[in-house]
Structure 1
Amino acid sequence: MLRTTASNLPKLAQSFFFHTSFSKSTLSSSSSSSSSSSSSTFLQSIPESEAKLIVNPLYHFLPQNQNPFNIVELVSSHLKTNNPRLALLQSHIKELIPHLGHRQISKILLRCQSNFVSALAFFNWVKYDLDIRLSSHNYCLIIHILAWSRQFPLAMKFLSELIELSKDVSSSEDVFQNLVLCTEHCNWNPVIFEMLIKAYVKLDLIHESYWSFKKMVKLGFVPNVIACNCILNGLAKMKSDAQCWELYEEMGRIGVHSNAYTFNILTYVLCRDGDVNKINGFLEKMEEEGFDPDVVTYNTLIDSYVRRGRLEDAFYLYKIMYRRGVMPDLVSYTSLMRGLCRLGRVREAHQLFHRMIDRGMDPDVVLYNTLIGAYCKDGMLQEARSLLHEMIGIGIHPDSFTCRILVEGYGREGRLISALNLVVEIQKLGVTVAHDIYKYLIISLCREDRPFAAKSLLERILEDSFQPDSDIYNKLIESFCRSNNVSEALLLKLEMINRNYKPTTDTYKSLIHCMCEINRSVDGEGLMVEMVESEVIPDHEICRALVNGYCKEGNADKAESLLVSFAKDFQFFDSESFNSLVKVYRDVGNETKLMELQDRMLKAGFLPNSLTCRYIIHGIWKSMRLNKQRVQTVAV
């Protein structure tokens, strides 16, 4: 519990606001009445539903349920009845609802603060039924009322809601300040400020929780060690080590006694730093203050040593635990076994596993996964499979990770059929196989040029709501194309489009390559036109495949036309495609056509390289040789 009493708060609050640069006029107005204080505590960007100005004295001549001056009294009186029906009240005072503003809401909450049920019913009625956007002051009042009535879960709910609103609405909104202001007008429980710290931590607003702690200390509050540990743990997870030590020192200064949890958090921080001397010094200080390291402390240290490859030090601590009467738990053994497995000492890890069981501990799926993963990594799949059957036999269900490491282990050994059988076996046990495992198997089968097996697997798992992505389709199409099964590849492209996946450059590249390979370059060119119409830009490899395809089919004119078109439309000047065309004319041995081609290509922007020159020289030489042979034949 906080040690500052409620009677001391107004003076402390004034001191707080003086230090936070609030003017004297603001302070005086905040202490004069609840209505004036609320004006400075509204959520800044939430539109205020302030009551309309009441300036007409003739309102007093109106019926009671139409006089705006009576709205607070009417609602408060209704809430004090044994069974308040707010829907009935709403119809009775419907003409006064527009006059129900933030000030009136605060006054009504204060009047029924001794009955949290009525206060909560009114708050929810205003918020949900009347759809009035409540002010920070309204929220703070209901939070204090609920905390005073020891309705802590509800208070925490609204406190978290207020923090979210303040965070989203205004960076200048200070929830702590507003809570302090409201303590002058209602009953309050100091524990609310510890709850504020916990709410900030729960919402991952660690720095806000830290600054709230500092404000509390400035006002004279002394939060308990649990609240301090919440901040400390949050700072440690954020790697704000300097602030961790600042908080720890401040805890000592204001008299908050650390507990084992405090020391374990700070041990974790030190282990991350890796300074062994600091760690040892801190453990000595911990023992001087009467705290013996517990299993969490030792586990933190063992895990730190394992991560740094200092396995001997980790095992030394493991032995010390027994000497000091601290029994290692599953976390201890998991860390040590993981360290052994990383160094390839799987057999020793397995022996430690059996030692743990002999000491009466029950292994879990994490421990089994550690060993199975290590055996799979070393290619010892039979041992891994035996462990799988062992864990199933003692009632431990393999999880998705177990499946993944085994499937990938079989995949690395090229035993994909065994991996598929394993998946079926695990599925029968009711284990949900993750989609990425199926993707791994399909792509692995494609890489092994077994597209029909991959497609069969895809068709089977589609029945289990599996959603293949474009990468799977591309790999399947590529694999079918490598085996020249272009009809299957085209069907997959159509299925891909039907599933609203746009074929990519890789999709078309595989198909065009295959078409050109099987002497269907015209169809390949048709696919190229289709991809351009779909705003997918071809690349050099597609250009090369089409030019080579036409050259292989003996259609040099079409190859040249396509090459020029690529240069003109896409600025592709592919030397390899140019040389393929030159090679065709070289093989014919027509010197004139070869030189004419060279001239046309130069005009189109193609520059010859060393291979081009070699082809041309060889073509001219071949042409001269053919001419000489013809002359000799005529002479004979």
Structure 2
Amino acid sequence: MNRTPLKSITQSLLKTHHFSNPNLSSLQTLPDSKPNSSINPLYNLLPHTQNPNKIVDIICSNLKERKTTLVEKHMIRHLGNQDISRVLLRCQSDSFAALSFFNWVKKDLAFDPTVYDYCIMLHILAWSHKFSDTMGLLSELIQLNKSKPGKVSIFENLILCTKDCTWEPVVFDMLLKAYLKAGLIRDGFITFRKMVKLGFVPKVISINFLLDGLLKLNRIDECWGVYEEMGKIGVRCNTFTFNILTHVICKSEDVDKVNKFLEKMEEEGFDPDIVTYNTLIDGYVRQGRLKDALYLYNIMYIRRVTPDLITHTSLINGFCKDGNVREAHKLFVRMVQIGLKPDVYSYNTLICGYSNKGMMQEARALLHEMIKEKVLPNDFTCLILIEGYRKENKLISAVNLIVELQKFGILVPKNLQIDLVVALCRVDKPFAAKSLWERIVQDGKETNLPIYNELIVSFCKCNHVNEAIQLKDEMFFKKIKPTLTTYSAIIGCLCGLNRTMEGEMFMRDMAELGIHPDATICRSLISGHCQEKNLSQAELLLRVFAEEFQLLYNECYNEVFKVVSEEGDINKSMGFQNRMQRIGYTPNSLSFKYAIHGLLKTAS
């Protein structure tokens, strides 16, 4: 780093910020917990080692002699922050002594040195080439300053310290790095601008860190601003700089700058490498500019940069996104022919292209090819193939794929298999779903209540109630408590199959488990009894619902009343109505309609 004349730097900073006293920084607004005692002439009558007026001399002398006790305990209360600065400045030539004193103040005395004191210590360490200690202390200072209510400029205090102590310009470059290391990119950027303004020239490595940090924050304009400053202050870019700026170009979506940028690299004496081209091609592909990506691909050969696996995979992805899977496959074949071995990402890209087009046979063939080439499919391979079959409503083919993969010793993620079980249930394929589920739970450890309910509902929907009851029994065996959904599906199916009495038994079982029936179960049981002409049982059940569960559904009451009225026995229907009213059921307009129809039937 170039050294700018000290006098001009300090004068410039003081003029800019109007500091009235260069020896005191704004950082010294931090409380001085131990103010310096006013000089008392009577202290001079005391022995030298007990004279508070000589506390700085005493400490420096003891430090020079490497004494462990720097000052007597009764003298510590006379030590103030200005004394700390004075001791440090007198120890500039002995970084070990300065650091020992600084740590003693922080740890043993539990003082809070001002940031100005920190900056003096940093200059001492940097001047002594103790760069590791310098960076450690910078990180500590940055964290300390960040946690304080009034944030102070460390950079400006480092400048102010240069008036009184020897200094090394590299400390400013290290401050920039420390900010970036702490993730304080904005502070790093501000420090960079101040360095440039005062004539300091940061190292290219530090600038690269800054560019990378700004890029991650998507501060594209500021990245170009830093790049322009590099040219003004004479910092020469390196390969890393250009590769970072390549990412900047892609993020800025202004890829028309590419050719000019590549020319600039060549002017600087850097040939764009494979990383540069791959980044640019990937940027084009992401923006849907496949022709431009292919143009760069051809340029690579002209400039004698051999495209690698990443280059080809990006272009294959571009063709697939463009819907041109055949061209993608041609490029894939060409890649193999020039000696590049496809990896799982290359295969996945092409398989995904085929799956998205619904060309599952071709996708499956690629899967077989990758297994043959000993490229192990990963979770994403399984996902795109299963999703491809699901989009084509070929769920059984997806199940067969899972079985096939397992035969090859390839583990299909359990969550993908469970999702497929649910999908099979919802398209009324409960037997296939159960078969796949049994493969999943063959270790006997799976206790997934929602899946059991999905299977039971699906079996019941297809009127395979015995299989549903078997699954419910299996749940008991695995200590999985059935839910209202479980019983509602089974009871509804039994009632629909004219097995209402069995359904009623299941209702009793669920009540013993503390699960109360709901409107759906009430309707299923009442409808079942009415359909089977079990009117006395239906009436009994209405009473049970009302008295045991406080469920009074007029809809269920009306359904029974309708059947009773249709028999044409007015006395029987009125008797039923009276009994129901006594337990809380209330006739409505629909009830009277059924009663009238019954009377008309009797009259006829």
Whether these two folds match at TM > 0.5 is yes
What residue in structure 1 maps to residue 137 of structure 2?
158
Distance verdict in 2 for CA 1:166–1:309, change over 3 Å: same
**Aligned 1:139-150 pairs, distance under 5 A:** 139-150=118-129
Deviation digits for residues 85-106 of structure 1, max 9, x if unmatched? 75xx38x845555655544444
Gapped regions of structure 1 (runs ≥ 5): 32-36, 463-467, 496-506, 531-541, 567-576, 630-636
What residue in structure 2 maps to residue 544 of structure 1?
519
| In structure 1, C-alpha distance between the alignment counterparts of 2:209 and 2:315, rounded to whole Å | 29
Contact 1:547 1:562 in 2 (8 A): no
What residue in structure 2 maps to residue 439 of structure 1?
415
Offset of residue 180 of structure 1: 1.8
Offset of residue 318 of structure 1: 0.6
Letter aligned with residue 521 of structure 1: M
What residue in structure 2 maps to residue 589 of structure 1?
565
Structure 1 position 212 matched with structure 2 position 191: yes
**Aligned 1:556-575 pairs, distance under 5 A:** 556-559=542-545
Deviation digits for residues 303-337 of structure 1, max 9, x if unmatched? 12211233232122111111112222333222112
| In structure 2, C-alpha distance between the alignment counterparts of 1:627 and 1:148, rounded to whole Å | 116
What residue in structure 2 maps to residue 4 of structure 1?
3
What residue in structure 1 maps to residue 570 of structure 2?
none
Structure 1 residue aligned with 2:166, among 183, 187, 202?
187
Letter aligned with residue 587 of structure 1: V
Report the secondary structure of 1:189's partner residue: coil
| In structure 2, C-alpha distance between the alignment counterparts of 1:157 and 1:601, rounded to whole Å | 83
Letter aligned with residue 307 of structure 2: P
Report the secondary structure of 1:41's partner residue: helix
What residue in structure 2 maps to residue 242 of structure 1?
221
Letter aligned with residue 475 of structure 1: P
Structure 1 residue aligned with 2:369, among 386, 399, 406?
386
**Aligned 1:244-259 pairs, distance under 5 A:** 244-259=223-238
| In structure 2, C-alpha distance between the alignment counterparts of 1:66 and 1:461, rounded to whole Å | 81
Larger Rg: 2
What residue in structure 2 maps to residue 50 of structure 1?
34
Deviation digits for residues 565-616 of structure 1, max 9, x if unmatched? 79xxxxxxxxxx7545533433333865898899999999x9x9xxxx7x65
Distance verdict in 2 for CA 1:344–1:48, change over 3 Å: farther
Contact 1:302 1:335 in 2 (8 A): yes
Contact 2:383 2:416 in 1 (8 A): no
Contact 2:255 2:284 in 1 (8 A): no
Distance verdict in 2 for CA 1:222–1:522, change over 3 Å: same
Distance verdict in 2 for CA 1:545–1:255, change over 3 Å: same
Report the secondary structure of 1:13's partner residue: helix
Contact 1:137 1:178 in 2 (8 A): yes
Offset of residue 255 of structure 1: 4.0
Distance verdict in 2 for CA 1:12–1:587, change over 3 Å: farther
| In structure 1, C-alpha distance between the alignment counterparts of 2:523 and 2:41, rounded to whole Å | 97
Letter aligned with residue 556 of structure 1: L
Letter aligned with residue 153 of structure 2: D
What residue in structure 2 maps to residue 510 of structure 1?
485
| In structure 2, C-alpha distance between the alignment counterparts of 1:372 and 1:60, rounded to whole Å | 90
Report the secondary structure of 2:146's partner residue: helix
Offset of residue 220 of structure 1: 2.5
Distance verdict in 2 for CA 1:598–1:270, change over 3 Å: farther
Gapped regions of structure 2 (runs ≥ 5): 425-429, 458-467, 493-502, 530-537, 567-572
What residue in structure 1 maps to residue 200 of structure 2?
221
Contact 2:214 2:222 in 1 (8 A): yes
Structure 1 position 304 matched with structure 2 position 283: yes
**Aligned 1:360-509 pairs, distance under 5 A:** 360-361=339-340, 363-371=342-350, 373-374=352-353, 378-379=359-360, 380-392=363-375, 401=380, 413-414=395-396, 415-416=398-399, 419=402, 422=405, 437-448=413-424, 450=433, 454=437, 457=440, 460=443, 473-479=448-454, 481-482=456-457, 483-484=468-469, 485-486=471-472, 488-489=474-475, 508-509=483-484
| In structure 2, C-alpha distance between the alignment counterparts of 1:356 and 1:451, rounded to whole Å | 43
Structure 2 residue aligned with 1:268, among 247, 252, 258?
247
Structure 2 residue aligned with 1:176, among 155, 167, 175?
155
**Aligned 1:306-345 pairs, distance under 5 A:** 306-343=285-322, 345=324
Letter aligned with residue 507 of structure 2: S
What residue in structure 2 maps to residue 16 of structure 1?
13
Deviation digits for residues 262-294 of structure 1, max 9, x if unmatched? 444444333334445444455555556665544
Identity of aligned residues (%): 38
Contact 1:411 1:419 in 2 (8 A): no
Report the secondary structure of 1:306's partner residue: helix
| In structure 2, C-alpha distance between the alignment counterparts of 1:182 and 1:154, rounded to whole Å | 18
| In structure 1, C-alpha distance between the alignment counterparts of 2:478 and 2:304, rounded to whole Å | 65
Structure 1 residue aligned with 2:598, among 609, 613, 623?
623
Contact 1:166 1:173 in 2 (8 A): yes
Structure 1 position 112 matched with structure 2 position 91: yes
Offset of residue 17 of structure 1: 3.9
Report the secondary structure of 1:232's partner residue: helix
| In structure 1, C-alpha distance between the alignment counterparts of 2:340 and 2:73, rounded to whole Å | 68
Report the secondary structure of 1:589's partner residue: helix
Structure 2 residue aligned with 1:41, among 27, 36, 50?
27
Deviation digits for residues 355-392 of structure 1, max 9, x if unmatched? 44554555555435434555666532342143145245
| In structure 1, C-alpha distance between the alignment counterparts of 2:364 and 2:180, rounded to whole Å | 45
| In structure 2, C-alpha distance between the alignment counterparts of 1:524 and 1:215, rounded to whole Å | 76
Contact 1:513 1:546 in 2 (8 A): yes
Letter aligned with residue 420 of structure 2: S
Contact 2:9 2:159 in 1 (8 A): no
TM-score by length of 2: 0.73
| In structure 1, C-alpha distance between the alignment counterparts of 2:583 and 2:225, rounded to whole Å | 75
